[in-house]
């Protein structure tokens, strides 16, 4: 899957504010296939494990608390050069520095409450995808499973 896939998370603030379906639409309209997606709430241990590269940083505990504070969406995105393409569409980590038209410019509130996550390399993309999804879920998807109706239904 290397090169064509990345992991997207829609973070608790964006889900809580009702932006998830608009973010999925932006992703879809920018030429990504949504190969698999699920809504879930991370446990403290899972959030610590997912963000383990940041363990020990001053913002780590706050990041874990925030990421476990409510439901998130995890999704496998497919496009040529997916990691870079999704990072470009996301915008800078700090929304104050995010370019016009990016997801974070529109929906992020702060560096911590920055609406979305994206893998930062092909290697991390594979690890992060398999953190959230089993191989069967991805293989069985087999193509675009863009299901706005289901997403909207789950938001009710
Ligand atoms: P994300 O792309 O999910 O990867 C790591 C996250 O840590 C990042 O988005 C931010 O939400 C958070 N983060 C990074 N730097 C800081 C910071 N200086 N203060 C608070 N949170 C941060």
DSSP state of 40: E
Report pLDDT for 137.
Answer: 81
At a CB cut-off of 8 Å and minimum separation 6, what does 123 contact?
Answer: none
Low-confidence stretches of the chain (pLDDT beneath 50): 1, 143-153, 155-156
pLDDT the model gives residue 156: 41
The pLDDT value recorded for residue 16 is 97
DSSP classification of residue 53? G
Closest Cα to atom 1 of ligand 1: 117
The closest of 100, 129, 101, 96 to 30, measured between CA atoms, is 101
Q: Whose CA is nearest to atom 21 of ligand 1?
A: 112
- Give me the pLDDT at residue 142, please: 58
pTM (2 d.p.): 0.90
DSSP 8-state assignment for residue 20: H
Question: 47-52: long-range contacts at Cβ-Cβ below 8 A with a sequence spacing of 24 or more?
Answer: 49/131, 50/128, 50/131
Q: Looking at the CA of residue 9, tell me the nearest atom of ligand 1.
A: 3
Per-residue pLDDT at 15: 97
CATH topology (fold) of 5-155: Alpha-Beta Plaits (3.30.70)
How is the beta sheet containing 116-118 ordered, strand by strand? 33-40, 72-78, 5-10, 116-118
Q: Which two tokens stand for residue 129?
A: 């995808």
Our CA angle for 112, 12, 96, nearest 5°, is 35
Q: What pLDDT score was predicted for residue 136?
A: 74
Query: From ligand 1's centre to the CA of 108, what distance in Å?
Result: 12
Using the mean position of ligand 1's atoms as its centre, give its distance from the Cα of residue 54 in Å.
Answer: 9
Interval between CA 142 and ligand 1 midpoint (Å): 32
Query: Do residues 71 and 17 touch, judged by C-beta distance below 8 A?
Result: no
Q: Which residues pair with 34 in a beta bridge?
A: 77
pLDDT score for 97: 96
Q: For residue 102, give both structure tokens.
A: 């990016």
pLDDT at site 141: 58
pLDDT at residue number 135: 76
Residues with a CB atom less than 6 Å from ligand 1: 54, 59, 63, 93, 111-112, 114, 117
Active site residues: 117
d(CA 121, CA 108): 22
- Tell me, what's the pLDDT at 140? 61
Cβ atoms of 52 and 46 within 8 Å: the answer is no
Residue nearest (by alpha carbon) to ligand 1 atom 22: 112
């Amino acid at each position: 899957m290397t090169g064509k896939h990345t992991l997207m998370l829609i973070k608790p603030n964006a889900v809580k504010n009702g932006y998830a379906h608009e973010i999925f639409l932006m992703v879809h309209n920018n030429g990504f296939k949504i190969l698999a997606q699920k809504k879930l709430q991370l446990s403290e241990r899972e959030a610590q494990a997912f963000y383990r590269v940041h363990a020990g940083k001053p913002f780590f505990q706050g990041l874990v608390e925030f990421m476990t504070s409510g439901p998130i969406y995890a999704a496998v995105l497919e496009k040529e050069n997916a990691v870079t393409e999704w990072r470009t569409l996301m915008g800078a980590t700090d929304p104050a520095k995010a370019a016009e038209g990016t997801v974070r410019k529109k929906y992020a509130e702060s560096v911590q409450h920055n609406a979305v996550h994206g893998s930062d390399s092909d290697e991390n993309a594979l690890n992060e995808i398999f953190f959230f999804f089993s191989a069967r879920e991805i293989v069985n998807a087999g193509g675009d499973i863009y299901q706005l109706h289901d997403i909207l239904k789950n938001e009710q």
